[in-house]
Structure 1
């Protein structure tokens, strides 16, 4: 069986940043990526996705995000190109098409079971993100609804929904962006449990991220005090608030049930709907850690403190929402968390 220093599971932004940090500490990581490319989930996001932070704040360690206009909001495809180039420049072994199905403790190290083989590692970093585990809440009547139901993970463009009646469920950035895009060619309702909360994209002529970085809010270690990640407001330059005010899309309280293709609204009669898009977020995608006692709680959520597993020495996480700070699972700060985890893993391995 092959023996390696550190197995980094996931070849997206978190895994690449972690590999960079481990290399700087003299360790030789092997990045195990299930897909055929080292760009994480970015190629699978919807076509119109743009970042909510300017290019200047979206660099991984050692390689600035390209482009002369540092204040533009990069498109999804720019991020894919950037991550691909970053992986190509990284002096680490990246194995694509290499899915990890289980990790088990072996002595004071780990054995990773792959589709087609096994390897042992002195340490493991879980950096597989959340895209593979869309959150599908138990909404009233959803099981009885006979129209199309899809998650935002499966949404690509408004073309298939032109002229149709669509309900988008969610109150976050993606929900509002998808609903507004669909409303240009379809009859769309944004269904939420409460009012949509907005935050100004620019304050005093500066992007909001300028202020969160300048004040230290972006990287303040608040994650340790949160029982669960708080809901984030929708970043808006005015266009989404105006779209909702104009009823394109309209906003309603969440439906209360369904009968066949019809939804039941709390403030009106039944209405036939063609499709429901669940923009309801994601959960950590870590089924391969189930054999490690104490790594996950009963809901599959990592048990950790600032990225270090609390009950499994040598296991770490990178890229979790609020792992340490507001920006932990973002391009702009995942490198900071990766460096902290790499430093602590290196110290752990040095003591063995």
Structure 2
């Protein structure tokens, strides 16, 4: 088995940024992508999704996002951009190839995949991102609910829900956007533990991301402070107005689900056709479950989250991460942030690593 310079697990925005950073340092990466295209989770998001950051602040290193830099790109535009970026990258990508196990061995790592192959590499970057596994909280009674139960990851468009009674669980950007869209065709309640909190998308006439860039706030090492905090919804005014008009309405989190409905916090029981969980995602890092240092220290903690310092493993030498939410700052899991994080992680990982002759694997 030939030894690669680096192996990147994931070929979405995080993996492509990591491959670019590795190449800039003379290291030849191989990317493993579980899906059929090098576009990460973007091709699976709901149809109407648009970025909350303008095109001018939504690019990966080395390739500006096309078109007016002030516009807000759609999901399909992001998919096309990532596919173009991958084609220009010049790094080999193994599609439909998921990593199943990463093992630390002398001189580097051994990585097994779903098709039975194994790869060896000096460095490994886990870039499967922070959105690989939909989070489905254990809400009271929900396991006995016989109506339609789905996660936002399974939602595509509102038409199939026309005329239904729908409860959307969550208070983040996706929850509000999906609930407002569904409210055009259905009776919708947005329900969460705390009321929705908004941030103006264009304070003083400029996009919020422009202010973050100018003040350099987005570069501050706030990752650990920001992780798991309630996200404020970026809004140009339409979502606040929709909630104020009761389309959708908002209610505190329900007490419990019944077989055919919900018991609300005020004790009222109501029949519900659909419960849609817009409750976020967790990293998909199961391939690291058995990865330990030479001394036996695990790559993941008891909760399955990586032990790391700003994306560099604190337990397993040569292992890094790109694309985790709150990894280094407020943009770490976004198009605008993964490039900076990738450069930082690769710089630390590559220190002292001798460039190998690029080879394949069997």
Using the size of structure 1 for normalisation, the TM-score is 0.97
Q: 1:240 to 1:259 in 2, by over 3 A?
A: same
Could you say which residue in structure 2 is the equivalent of 1:210?
Answer: 210
Equivalence map 1:170-209=2 (5 Å): 170-209=170-209
SS at match of 2:119: strand
Asked if structure 2 preserves the Cα contact closer than 8 Å seen for 1:111 and 1:118, the reply is yes
| C-alpha distance in 2 between matches for 1:278 and 1:143 | 13
Asked if structure 1 preserves the Cα contact closer than 8 Å seen for 2:5 and 2:355, the reply is no
Asked if structure 2 preserves the Cα contact closer than 8 Å seen for 1:54 and 1:73, the reply is yes
Task: Say whether 1:344 aligns with 2:343.
Answer: no
Runs of 4+ in 1 over 3 A off after TM superposition: none
Displacement after TM superposition at 1:229 (Å): 3.2
Could you say which residue in structure 2 is the equivalent of 1:86?
Answer: 85
Q: C-alpha offsets along residues 139-193 of structure 1, whole Å, 9 cap, x if unaligned?
A: 1221121111100001101111000000000000000000000000000000011
Could you say which residue in structure 1 is the equivalent of 2:232?
Answer: 233
Task: Say whether 1:326 aligns with 2:326.
Answer: no
SS at match of 1:349: coil
Task: Say whether 1:264 aligns with 2:269.
Answer: no
SS at match of 1:221: coil
SS at match of 1:175: helix
Displacement after TM superposition at 1:320 (Å): 0.6
| C-alpha distance in 2 between matches for 1:350 and 1:309 | 20
Could you say which residue in structure 2 is the equivalent of 1:299?
Answer: 303
Asked if structure 2 preserves the Cα contact closer than 8 Å seen for 1:314 and 1:348, the reply is no
Asked if structure 1 preserves the Cα contact closer than 8 Å seen for 2:166 and 2:274, the reply is yes
Q: 1:130 to 1:24 in 2, by over 3 A?
A: same
Could you say which residue in structure 2 is the equivalent of 1:162?
Answer: 162
SS at match of 1:49: coil
Could you say which residue in structure 1 is the equivalent of 2:136?
Answer: 136
Displacement after TM superposition at 1:99 (Å): 1.0
| C-alpha distance in 1 between matches for 2:98 and 2:325 | 23
* Number of residue pairs aligned between Structure 1 and Structure 2: 350
Could you say which residue in structure 2 is the equivalent of 1:113?
Answer: 112
Q: Which runs of 5+ in 1 are unaligned?
A: none
What CA RMSD, in Å, does the superposition of the two structures yield over aligned residues? 1.4
| C-alpha distance in 2 between matches for 1:348 and 1:169 | 48
Could you say which residue in structure 2 is the equivalent of 1:248?
Answer: 247
| C-alpha distance in 2 between matches for 1:74 and 1:268 | 43
Displacement after TM superposition at 1:228 (Å): 3.5
Displacement after TM superposition at 1:227 (Å): 7.9
Asked if structure 2 preserves the Cα contact closer than 8 Å seen for 1:98 and 1:114, the reply is yes
| C-alpha distance in 2 between matches for 1:98 and 1:118 | 11
Asked if structure 2 preserves the Cα contact closer than 8 Å seen for 1:131 and 1:153, the reply is no
| C-alpha distance in 2 between matches for 1:232 and 1:118 | 40
Displacement after TM superposition at 1:259 (Å): 2.1
Could you say which residue in structure 2 is the equivalent of 1:153?
Answer: 153
Using the size of structure 2 for normalisation, the TM-score is 0.94
SS at match of 2:134: coil
Displacement after TM superposition at 1:348 (Å): 4.3
| C-alpha distance in 2 between matches for 1:122 and 1:351 | 10
